[in-house]
């Protein structure tokens, strides 16, 4: 909206600058009027496109809100169902989680050791390659 007002003001200023003399060229005046009309039409089309896009965005937001409400109700149902799980199942879940955590920690530690070893070997390899370049008579 601000852009269109600014555009109209600039065009009006150009129009007034063109019409300052008593003997204004009628062809030039008609060309300016046609340009202003075309710009106004373009602004109307752009405004309509923005309105259409805002309508689409609003519909998308409403759909997202509906999906969130459905997900929230599903989460409540899930929580209610989980509260009825026997303690043996919860205990089994806890054991499985701790087992996974321990194995993941062990795997990460082994990976870290392997990477350290590989870096050390790579550094040694680089040092071996950089020791002394062969002289012309050694080649």
The residue length of the chain stands at 139
Q: What span, in angstroms and rounded, lies between the C-alpha atoms of 28 and 38?
A: 15
pLDDT of amino acid 110: 87
pLDDT reported for residue 22: 57
The residue-averaged pLDDT of 6-24 equals: 70
Calpha distance 67→80 (Å, rounded) = 20
Structure confidence by residue, pLDDT tens digits, 53-110:
888 888 888 888 888 888 888 888 887 777 765 666 778 888 888 888 888 888 888 8
134 pLDDT higher than 70: no
pLDDT of residue 136: 63
110, 103 in Cβ contact below 8 A? no
Distance in angstroms (rounded) separating the CA atoms of residues 84 and 114: 45
Is the CB of residue 15 less than 8 Å from the CB of residue 32? yes
Q: Taking the model in full, what pTM does it have?
A: 0.38
């Amino acid at each position: 909206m601000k852009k269109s007002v600014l555009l109209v003001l600039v065009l009006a200023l150009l129009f007034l600058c063109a019409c300052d003399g008593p003997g204004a060229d009628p062809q030039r005046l008609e060309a300016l009027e046609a340009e202003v009309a075309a710009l106004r039409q373009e602004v109307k089309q752009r405004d309509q496109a923005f309105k259409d896009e805002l309508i689409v965005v609003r519909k998308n937001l409403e759909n997202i809100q509906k999906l969130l409400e459905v997900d929230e109700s599903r989460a409540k149902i899930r929580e209610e169902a989980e509260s009825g799980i026997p303690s043996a199942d919860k205990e089994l879940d806890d054991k499985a989680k701790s087992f996974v955590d321990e194995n993941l920690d062990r795997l990460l530690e082994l990976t870290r050791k392997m990477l350290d070893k590989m870096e050390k070997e790579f550094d040694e390899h680089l040092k071996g390659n950089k020791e002394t370049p062969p002289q012309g008579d050694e080649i």
